C-alpha cells in the first residue's frame, strides 16, 4: 500500500486557466500510480451539473474528475454549487440540495458564509477519511482581495486541508509573468508559503523558446516551475463551461448525419451532446440560425436554466417556427429536460418560479403539458426504451411536472416501472440527461439516416477512458512529477 500523501491543491491566476482539466489529469495519474484519489472543490459555479448515485446534484467538473479517478461521484466532492439563473442571481445548492436563490450581493456578504464554510469543511473531512490523496481545485483567481474575508474555496480551503498548492497560469492569454508574480505577492506570508510551485498551462509552440522565461519566472518568484504543459486539441475531456460552444457553430456537411443543437441563451448540461460530437457518422453543430436549423436531419432542443425565457426568445428570433417547419419536412426533433417542456403544448408557471412569464404555448410537437413547481427532481435512473429491453442509464435534474395527454406513448420506462418522456413519430422528449450516452438510443435516433453509412457504432465509454489516459500521459511528459510527489510527502 502506498504511503499517504498530502492533499494537492490547484490554484489559479484567473478563471479558465485549466485547473479543472489538470485536477482530472492528476486524479488519473494518482490512480495509475496505485493511490486512491478523489476530487474536491468547495464551491463551484456552473450551469452544467450532474446527479450522484444517491440522487443529489454536483458540478459536472467534479463528476468528470471522479470518473478520471475511477470512483463514483458524491456531493462531498462539491458541497456548494451555484447555478446562475440571471446575471446577478444564482440557485444555491448545498450538499446536493437547493436551499434557495441569492443575488451576488447577498451571497458574497459575510452573512451565511460561516454555515457554507462549515459545510465545505465537513464534506472535505468525510472525503479525506475515504480517499488519498485529495485533489483540490480552487475557483477563479486567488487574488480577489475584496473577497478574501469570505473565501472558503481558495487558499483558506488549502490551509484547512494543509494542502500543497500549485499555481496554474494560462500563458496563451498573455501576461503570464505579471499574473504569476502578482498572484503570489498579493498573498499573506502564510499563504505564500503554501504555494510550492508554478504550472504554466496552454503553451503553444516550441517549448525550448520558454526555457529562459522559465528561469526568469523562478528567479523573480522564488518558486520552481514544475511544468510547462503544451496546448492540446486532440484530447477530449468534457468541458465545464459553455464558453466554447460558439466555436462549434457550422453549417451542415454533406455525407454525414447533420445534427443541430439549438443554441439557447440559458443552455445547460451541454455535455449531453458530447458523444455525438465524437461519433464519426455525425456532424454536430450549435445554432439558432433559421436556415441552419432547416438543413439538419436531427434537431436537439437542450436543457435550459430559464425555460420560459428561452422559449420566448425562440419565438422572437424565428427558431421555434424553423424547428416546427423542419419537423414537418422530415427532421427528427428531440427535446431534453427544458427542451422536452418546450416541445409540448404549453408551459405554465402560476407561481412565477422562473420569473414574470406565467404561461407560453409550446412548439406543439408533443402532446404534453408542463407546470413549473418548486420541487427539484435530482436522481440517477436506469431505464429501457419503449420496444427495447436493453438497460440504459441517465440522470434527472429538473423543476416542473410534465403530463402526457391524449394517451401519448412514453419514450421509456424506468426499472421502478415509471413511464418517462413522450414519443410521437419523429418527435421525442425526455427528462433524462445522459440518454445520448446509451448506444441503444443513439442507434434508434440515427437509424432513419444511416442507410448510406458504413461506420461502426461508437463506444463512448471506452473513448472517455482512452481520453483520460491520454490526458494523464500528456501531463506526465511535461511536469516534474518527482518534485510534485516530494511536495506531497507528509
Angle at Cα 67 formed by Cα 433 and Cα 419, nearest 5°?
A: 25
Q: Are 362 and 344 in contact (CB under 8 A)?
A: yes
Q: 110-133 burial by CB neighbour count: b if 16+ within 10 A, else e?
A: eeeeeebbebbbebbeebbeebbb
Number of structural domains in the chain: 2
Burial grade of 264 (CB within 10 A; 0-12, 13-18, 19 or more) = buried
Residues 208 and 311 in one domain: no
Q: Cα(273)–Cα(340) distance, rounded to whole angstroms?
A: 15
Helix H or strand E segment including 287: strand 282-287
27 is catalytic: no
Q: What's the confidence (pLDDT) of residue 48?
A: 82
The grid coordinates listed for 172 are 496563451
- Domain assignment present for residue 299? The answer is yes
CA atoms 6, 7, 12, 18: torsion sign: positive
| DSSP conformation class of 3 | P
pLDDT along the chain (490 residues), means of 10: 90 95 98 97 90 92 96 97 82 90 73 86 98 96 88 95 97 94 95 96 92 95 96 84 54 80 90 90 91 93 93 94 95 97 96 90 96 91 95 93 92 95 95 95 91 68 93 97 94
Residues 276 and 336 in one domain: yes
- Choosing from 27, 221, 337, 392, the catalytic residue is 337
| DSSP conformation class of 5 | B
Residues 446 and 471 in one domain: no
The CATH number for 40's domain is: 3.40.50.300
- Domain assignment present for residue 139? The answer is yes
Global pTM value? 0.76
What are the backbone angles phi and psi of residue 8, rounded to the nearest 5°? -115, 130
Q: What's the confidence (pLDDT) of residue 110?
A: 63
Residues 285 and 195 in one domain: no
Residues 314 and 388 in one domain: yes
121 is catalytic: no
Residues 138 and 267 in one domain: no
Domain residues for 414? 256-451
- Domain assignment present for residue 246? The answer is no
Q: Cα(389)–Cα(216) distance, rounded to whole angstroms?
A: 63
Helix H or strand E segment including 84: strand 80-84
Cβ count within 10 A of residue 197: 20
- Domain assignment present for residue 461? The answer is no
Residue 431 CB contacts under 8 Å (≥ 6 apart), including other chains: 336, 337, 340, 377, 396, 398, 402, 420, 421
Residue 222 CB contacts under 8 Å (≥ 6 apart), including other chains: none
Concatenating the DSSP letter of every residue in 390-418 gives --EEEEEEEEEEEEE-TTPBPSEEETTS-
- Domain assignment present for residue 412? The answer is yes
- Choosing from 74, 327, 398, 433, the catalytic residue is 433
Q: Are 68 and 25 in contact (CB under 8 A)?
A: yes
Cβ count within 10 A of residue 200: 27
Q: What's the confidence (pLDDT) of residue 251?
A: 61
Residues 149 and 285 in one domain: no
Amino acid at each position: 500500500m502506498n504511503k499517504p500523501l498530502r492533499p494537492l491543491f490547484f490554484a489559479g491566476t484567473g478563471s479558465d486557466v485549466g485547473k479543472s482539466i489538470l485536477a482530472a489529469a492528476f486524479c488519473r495519474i494518482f490512480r495509475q500510480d496505485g493511490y486512491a484519489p478523489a476530487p474536491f472543490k468547495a464551491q463551484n459555479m456552473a450551469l452544467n451539473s450532474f446527479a450522484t448515485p444517491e440522487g443529489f446534484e454536483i458540478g459536472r467538473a467534479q463528476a468528470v474528475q471522479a470518473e478520471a479517478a475511477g470512483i463514483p461521484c458524491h456531493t462531498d466532492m462539491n458541497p456548494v454549487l451555484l447555478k446562475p439563473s440571471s446575471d446577478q442571481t444564482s440557485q444555491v445548492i448545498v450538499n446536493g440540495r437547493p436551499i434557495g436563490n441569492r443575488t451576488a450581493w447577498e451571497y458574497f456578504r459575510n452573512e451565511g458564509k460561516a454555515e457554507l464554510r462549515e459545510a465545505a469543511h465537513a464534506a472535505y473531512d468525510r472525503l479525506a477519511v475515504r480517499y488519498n490523496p485529495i485533489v483540490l481545485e480552487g475557483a477563479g483567481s486567488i487574488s480577489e482581495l475584496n473577497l478574501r474575508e469570505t473565501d472558503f474555496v481558495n487558499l483558506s480551503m488549502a490551509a484547512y486541508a494543509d494542502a500543497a498548492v500549485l499555481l496554474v497560469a494560462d500563458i496563451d492569454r498573455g501576461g503570464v509573468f505579471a499574473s504569476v508574480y502578482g498572484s503570489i505577492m498579493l498573498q499573506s506570508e502564510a499563504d505564500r508559503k503554501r504555494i510550492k510551485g508554478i504550472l504554466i498551462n496552454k503553451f503553444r509552440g516550441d517549448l525550448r523558446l520558454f526555457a529562459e522565461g522559465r528561469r526568469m519566472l523562478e528567479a523573480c518568484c522564488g518558486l520552481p516551475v514544475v511544468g510547462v504543459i503544451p496546448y492540446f486539441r486532440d484530447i477530449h475531456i468534457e468541458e465545464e463551461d459553455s464558453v466554447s460552444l460558439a466555436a462549434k457553430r457550422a453549417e451542415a456537411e454533406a455525407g454525414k448525419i447533420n445534427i443541430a443543437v439549438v443554441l439557447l441563451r440559458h443552455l445547460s448540461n451541454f455535455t449531453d451532446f458530447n458523444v455525438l460530437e465524437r461519433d464519426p457518422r455525425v456532424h454536430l453543430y450549435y445554432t439558432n440560425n433559421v436556415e441552419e436549423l432547416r438543413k439538419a436531419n436531427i434537431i436537439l432542443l437542450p436543457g435550459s436554466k430559464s425555460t420560459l425565457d428561452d422559449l420566448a426568445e425562440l419565438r422572437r428570433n424565428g427558431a421555434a417556427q424553423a424547428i416546427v417547419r423542419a419537423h414537418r419536412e422530415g427532421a427528427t426533433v428531440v427535446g431534453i429536460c427544458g427542451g422536452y417542456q418546450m416541445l409540448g403544448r404549453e408551459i405554465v408557471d402560476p407561481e412565477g418560479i422562473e420569473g414574470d412569464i406565467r404561461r407560453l404555448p409550446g412548439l406543439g410537437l408533443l402532446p404534453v403539458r408542463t407546470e413549473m413547481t418548486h420541487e427539484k427532481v435530482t436522481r440517477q435512473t436506469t431505464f429501457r426504451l419503449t420496444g427495447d429491453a436493453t438497460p440504459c442509464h441517465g440522470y434527472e435534474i429538473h423543476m416542473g411536472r410534465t403530463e402526457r395527454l391524449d394517451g401519448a406513448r412514453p419514450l421509456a420506462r424506468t426499472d421502478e416501472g415509471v413511464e418517462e418522456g413522450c414519443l410521437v413519430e419523429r418527435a421525442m422528449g425526455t427528462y433524462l440527461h445522459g440518454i445520448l450516452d446509451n448506444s441503444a438510443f443513439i442507434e434508434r435516433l440515427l437509424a432513419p439516416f444511416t442507410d448510406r453509412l458504413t461506420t461502426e457504432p461508437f463506444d463512448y465509454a471506452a473513448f472517455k477512458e482512452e481520453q483520460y489516459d491520454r490526458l494523464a500521459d500528456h501531463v506526465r511528459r511535461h511536469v516534474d512529477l518527482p518534485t510534485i510527489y516530494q511536495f506531497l510527502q507528509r
